[in-house]
């Protein structure tokens, strides 16, 4: 169960939209990346709620198994009932969000650096559920991301509900000018969807 103290909130509680934002496999919700994205999106009028998966909250190194991660997403979404909810996250957090988006009937999905496949293993795709996704989605991906380059992704069958925006020269970390652009694109997507 996610306690109120496990949530970090940026932005105005009266905002029309809320972005529920999960971390990647290795970075907690207070990491520089998570904080910068949350503050940037909040400045654009979208309330941002960050939460940690159980393993991160317990300070363990290995991520929880998929069923635990997915149930954590469901619980986090339930804490925000009554809000227009967008969900997403960095890498693993975004991937898990994409797996519950349709089921939980959220308004939209935003992924920062989607892990389309493990680095160096393009045959191990993590895209099957993305073929039929019904939730409007924005994926912000660096052109040099080892988890999925433009060449890789161009051959995937993805739902028409998914828009991929390429961050020129960016890798999986999403930083610098690419981070500024990603925050702007994510904010615009959430305000217009």
- Using the predicted structure, report yes or no on whether residue 165 has a pLDDT greater than 80: yes
Which of the two residues, 4 and 72, has the higher pLDDT score? 72
- Using the predicted structure, report yes or no on whether residue 5 has a pLDDT greater than 50: no
CATH number at residue 159: 3.40.50.1820
Instruction: Report the pLDDT value the prediction gives residue 1, as an integer from 0 to 100.
Output: 52
Q: pLDDT digit string (tens) for 34-54?
A: 999 999 999 999 999 999 999
Q: How many domains does the chain have?
A: 1
Which of the two residues, 22 and 5, has the higher pLDDT score? 22
Mean pLDDT across the chain: 95
What is the DSSP secondary-structure string of the chain?
Answer: ---GGGEEEES-TT-SEEEEEE--SS--TTSHHHHHHHHHHHHTT-EEEEE--HHHHTT-SSPPPHHHHHHHHHHHHHTTTTSEEEEEEETHHHHHHHHHHHHHT-SEEEEES--SS-TT-TTS---GGGGS--S-EEEEEETT-TT--HHHHHTS---TTEEEEEETT--TT--THHHHHHHHHHHHHHHH-
Q: pLDDT digit string (tens) for 103-162?
A: 999 999 999 999 999 999 999 999 999 999 999 999 999 999 999 999 999 999 999 999
Instruction: Report the pLDDT value the prediction gives residue 2, as an integer from 0 to 100.
Output: 56
Which of the two residues, 176 and 1, has the higher pLDDT score? 176
Domain range for 21: 4-192
* pTM as predicted: 0.96
């Amino acid at each position: 169960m996610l306690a109120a103290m496990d949530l970090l909130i940026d932005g105005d509680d009266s905002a029309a939209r809320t972005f529920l934002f999960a971390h990647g496999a290795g970075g907690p919700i207070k990491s520089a990346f998570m904080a910068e994205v949350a503050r940037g999106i909040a400045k654009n009028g979208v309330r941002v709620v960050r939460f940690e998966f159980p393993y991160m909250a317990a300070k363990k190194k290995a991520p929880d198994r998929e069923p635990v991660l997915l149930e954590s997403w469901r619980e986090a979404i339930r804490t925000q009932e009554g809000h227009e909810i967008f969900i997403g996250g960095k890498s693993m957090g975004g991937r898990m969000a994409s797996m519950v988006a349709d089921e939980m009937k959220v308004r939209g999905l935003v992924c920062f650096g989607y892990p389309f496949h493990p680095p160096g293993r393009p045959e191990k795709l993590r895209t099957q559920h993305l073929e039929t996704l019904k939730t409007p989605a924005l994926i912000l991906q660096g052109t040099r991301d080892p988890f999925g380059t433009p060449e890789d992704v161009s051959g995937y069958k993805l739902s028409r509900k998914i828009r991929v925006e390429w961050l020129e020269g960016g890798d999986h970390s999403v930083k610098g000018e690419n981070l500024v652009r990603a925050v702007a694109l994510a904010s615009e997507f959430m305000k217009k969807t």
